Structure 1
Amino acid sequence: MRIFDNALLFNPVSCTWIPASFSIDKGKIKTVGAPGSITGTFVTDLAGARVIPGLIDAHVHIESSLLTPSEFGRLVLKHGVTTVIADPHEIANVAGTDGIDFMISDAQYSPADIFFMVPSCVPATPADVGGAVVSAEDLKRYTENPKVLGLGEMMNVPGVLFGDAEVSAKLSLFARIDGHAPGLTGETLCEYISRGIASDHECTAAE
């Protein structure tokens, strides 16, 4: 067990810095107390250094970095990001489920935890022409994958609002769904939300 004394520990609930000591055992924080309250053999004096909980990047397209998930995770961890939730829709639009599978497979070598929201719109709309099509049937096999948390941003807003069969099938597969609904307000926004979509990548107003 390692003990770290004389830290300024950030409390994300109260947004305050608290003088503290803490211990780490097997990679996890075990005890938090007042400075000097935890004793042991291996003690590091942090001399007032600021310590924060690991940061979570709740939505990112790793492909935009031109890095593999494992390398992306290695680099962001150095800056305090311990968990990443990625939507691999960029590679999926080129390589389909092979691209998604590569991202999930390579992520296991990342020192940061990487989870995925599988892409809902490949292509983004029926009018788009890309390198692949990912159907609801294709997405079924990801529903039991522990690294997949849900369905990525649903960009096909008309498909949601008018009950497109393929869009509805995708929405029914996952309990957690990210949104992408620029400019929706009032009843149309309520209808969009009613389909189980709990966030919006394109918020333009508090509503």
Structure 2
Amino acid sequence: MLLAQSSPVGQTTWPAFAAVAAATAVGWAALIAIGTTGLEAICGGSGLGLAAATALMWGLMAATMMLPCAVHEICDAAQDGWRSATRFALRCIAPSTLLAVAAGAALGPAPIGTPALLSIAGLAFIAEAYWSARPTSLTRLGSAVAMICLQLIGGAMDLGWMALVAVWMLVLALAPARRLVTAVTGSTLLGLAVFGNF
């Protein structure tokens, strides 16, 4: 019983773990479909339709990447029932997704270079490390901004780069010393922004 309570994939949390995995798989399937088809082909051109499709793409990308990062907390919340797990997942993912949509809409069309994007991502990670030690709903918001910046560096719909960023975000979220690793990552990105040859 103690093992089930302490492990995110214990006997009482396997259904929640499976639900997160299934939702993530559906999200990736949708992103692959969008990436291979193209936003213009899906929405039928430009204008308001393209803007709406782009916002949907950023939101789907953020939710798909951020959901696995919260698997530990979601599985822990599932011990109090599915409603508790669902509420926690929405509370954790929804703000990050909305912020990602706003950041993507703001930063995507702007002619921002790699050093500026690295600086924003680095500062966002450092802010994430600071706020993660406090009982606040602002956690993971920094990761959402950093994710958008990193994705813009490699190409908004580059699926290979997207997968690499997703794995990196997951490693950061599940690292034993998450605050320290996140802060070091932010500092490294700031260093690359200042001293990198871009």
Q: Give the TM bin, normalised by the shorter chain.
A: under 0.3
More strand by share: 1
More helix by share: 2
TM-score, L = length of structure 1: 0.23
* Structure with max Cα Rg: 1
